[in-house]
Amino acid sequence: MAARRWREVADDLLARIKNGEFERDREGGRRKLPPESELQSQYDTSRNTIREALDFLANRGQVISEQGKGTFVVFRPEPVHVTLSATELGVGPGGGEGQWYKRDAAVQNRTPSTSEPRVEVQLVKERFALYLEVNLQTQVVSRHQEIYLDKEPWSLQTSFYPLAFVLDGGANKLLEARDIPEGAVKYLGETLGYKEAGYHDEITARAPNDNEKRFFALGDSAADVVFETIRTAYSDQGQPFRLTVTVWPADRNRLHYNVGNVPEAVVQGPNRTPSKDTTPSEDGRRSTKGDRPAATASKSPSRSPNGGKGT
């Protein structure tokens, strides 16, 4: 009877989870189960029975318990496939003020939206001064946006521009807390003569900070990591003029690049899942298809952040 009881509790909790009964936790944005003592009272059973039920759900990946915090529902959304390589320069992350990702979202029947930009003037951070090739006393304009897919948090994006673009060049739209309709790159081209001739991408996997945990409803498990992409845009004179930092939770994003002669079906279908089989090509050589995990990568069609040639 006891064995059947813990399974009854587990099945009922799972049904309640699927019905969305548990509200998001105010602090972390995650769905938190009631404490064990409260569940014990709800089901009129022993604490050991509750713990066995929760262990069963945890082993199935439905919940996760964190020391001193409680037990949370594991949220694993359907992954979105994002193409980071721009089909044309100037429309990648940061360049189109939110327009760049709409194509991939549309292909996957998802509805994107963005918050209004949060604009600040600040001294450049040391880690970003390297990419923009400026000294630490340089002031920059930051434009930060929250990006959603089907009203669920998808990514966080912040672009940085030297404040001199506004003070000396008259690019006043950078200070406006609203989208730049034509896109930032096109606007800077029209105002200052900048044209994006290339970009350098750096991709790193890391643990989320507290703000990212709240926004994306992430916990402390090994699966709750984020990708951070840092894209530096270069003018045709080789000068960096825009730095865009985008944070993507790894549980809902798959990042893609297309370089060179890639079949059109692959370019147009970012959600295409290749076979993992090893199959012979037409010339008899064998090629392996499938996902290749990576924690840190760099794609450089232009120059590296320290001013040297990219690889």
Record the pTM: 0.71
- Give the largest Cα separation in the chain, rounded: 79
Q: Which two tokens stand for residue 224?
A: 């709750």
Q: What is the dihedral of CA 59, 72, 152, 91, to 10 degrees?
A: -70
Q: What is the pLDDT along the chain (311 residues), one digit of tens a residue?
A: 456 899 999 999 999 988 888 877 655 567 889 999 999 999 999 999 999 999 998 888 788 888 888 888 877 777 888 888 766 665 556 555 445 566 667 667 778 888 999 999 999 999 999 999 999 999 999 999 998 888 888 899 999 999 999 999 999 999 999 988 888 888 999 999 988 889 999 999 999 998 998 888 887 777 789 999 999 999 999 999 999 999 999 988 888 888 888 888 777 765 655 444 444 344 434 333 333 333 344 454 433 333 333 33
Q: What helix, strand, coil percent values describe the chain, rounded to 5? A: 25, 30, 45
Q: How far apart are the first and last CA of the chain?
A: 65
**H or E stretch including 6?**
helix 2-18
Number of alpha helices (DSSP H) and beta strands (DSSP E) in the chain:
9, 14
Lookup result for tokens 């896109």: 183
**H or E stretch including 288?**
strand 286-288
| DSSP letters spanning 175-242 | GSSS--TT-HHHHHHHHH-----EEEEEEEEE---HHHHHHHT--SSTT--EEEEEEEEE-TTS-EEE
What is the C-alpha separation between 62 and 48, in angstroms, rounded?
19
